[in-house]
Homo-oligomer: A and B are copies of this chain.
Amino acid sequence: MSETNIDADTSASRAARSSARFYSVIPAGGIGSRLWPLSRAGAPKFLHDLTGSGHTLLRATWDRLVPIAGENRIMVVTGRAHRTAVEAQLPELGDENIVLEIEGKDSSVAIGLAAAILERREPGVIIGSFAADHVIGDERHFRRAVDEGIALAEAGYIATIGIEPTEAATGFGYIECGVAVDVEGAPSALGVTGFVEKPDLDTARSYLAKGNYLWNAGMFIARADLLLERLGRTQPKLLEGLLALAEAWDGPDRGAVIDRVWPTLPKVAIDYSVAEPAAKDGLLTVVPADFPWDDVGDFASLAKLQSGSRSDLAILGQNARVLADSATGIVVSETGRLISVIGVENIVVVDTPDALLVTTSEHAQRVKSVVDALKLSGRTDVL
């Protein structure tokens, strides 16, 4: 596979080269509490244009996956409340490709249900799950990594894509890499020896120094049947529920089964239910990738993404009117009001019609605690 071929690729040529069995899944679930008051229950992170590209993160994710899977082979799993907004963003999305959750049940259910439905429709399908609210800077490199992941999935592995760390970040989980895996079409693949949750700064620094740790970008590629089989090992009840849902999904009983089964489903992240145990069993592989990637987890991350440096004040918002004097950080404007920021470093100002946040990058992680406090005090009108 030469660089030239990749540059010139089209949906048609890629579909021939990638597995025809491949199906993309976009779990579009998280609110993004650390991006409050921009992100809310009613307007979650994936429905915002956080890059200033003119597209929401969801739409950008879709556009990134179309060349890989084709627009008829992308399934979106989201909350019922977001159906209208999601369909407005993705007019190409067919009814068969939208899975509506009556209540968020974390990633094992979101990805597992998509896998169960697709496996039932199309036995042997390979699914690739990609979050709806991440930012990826180099789509060619992304597609090349997904191609390797598909090759690994075809060879019977669960594959993930790990991002080469550019700093000792404490906001991401890490993947500990083992030795190379010999699979045709996946020349850079490595075995995974461990999954690590968000580390403290010293640990993150040691990972960076060691060199065999990658950022966990939450991307998984695997045969749906393998994924479900591994899920059943740690979460048998969950699998049972998913299979019941999948069996009824395309028939007249879907609603009744959802009402019966949904409340019984446990909330568990797929990292715990599938990825970590698979790593222990030597089934998990990783494609190291160095494309720019960010989960835009908080306003510090957004500020960095926007400004590219610490010497500017980044401004986000179509109608933003900002007058800044010796200020750095980020201003997010959803109101069109005039915003003046004078002499503050690493400031974060988020101006929405009913709520205003003022903090600094170093406290960006604490935004979630404000959301929690608002919940506790019953002020849910702004959540």
Contact = CB atoms under 8 A, between A and B. Distances in A.
A24 to B, nearest CB: 37
Nearest to A367: B342
Contacts of A354: 337-338
A360 B363 CA distance: 17
A128 B360 CA distance: 48
A182 to B, nearest CB: 50
B382 A357 contact: no
A373 interface: yes
B349 A356 contact: yes
Given A349-B356, A356-B349, A374-B323, A379 B342 contact: no
A339 B323 contact: no
Contact of A343 (B326, B339, B366): B366
Contacts of A309: none
Given A374-B323, A382-B338, A358 B366 contact: no
A176 interface: no
B357 A342 contact: yes
B342 A366 contact: yes
A370 B337 contact: no
A10 interface: no
A340 B355 contact: yes
B337 A355 contact: yes
A359 B382 contact: no
A364 to B, nearest CB: 9
Contacts of A349: 356, 358
Interface string A69-112: 00000000000000000000000000000000000000000000
Contact of A358 (B340, B363, B373, B374): B340
Contact of A340 (B337, B362, B370): B370
A340 B356 contact: yes
A170 B82 CA distance: 56
Contacts of A206: none
Question: What copy number does this chain have within its complex?
Answer: 2
A261 interface: no
Instruction: Classify chain A: how many residues form its interface, as a range.
Output: 20 to 34
Interface in A312-359: 321, 323, 325-326, 337-344, 347, 349, 351, 353-359
A348 to B, nearest CB: 9
B362 A358 contact: no
A341 B363 CA distance: 10
A369 B323 CA distance: 11
28 contacts: A37-B340, A323-B370, A323-B373, A325-B366, A325-B373, A326-B363, A337-B354, A337-B355, A338-B379, A338-B382, A339-B355, A340-B355, A340-B357, A340-B358, A341-B357, A341-B358, A342-B358, A342-B359, A342-B363, A342-B366, A342-B370, A343-B360, A343-B362, A343-B366, A344-B359, A344-B363, A349-B356, A349-B358
A223 B302 CA distance: 64
Given A342-B366, A343-B366, A358 B355 contact: no
A383 to B, nearest CB: 10
A366 B363 CA distance: 25
Contacts of A373: 323, 325
Contact of A344 (B351, B358, B379): B358
Contacts of A357: 340-342
Nearest to A359: B342
Given A338-B382, A342-B370, A366-B342, A347 B358 contact: yes
Contacts of A340: 37, 355-359, 370
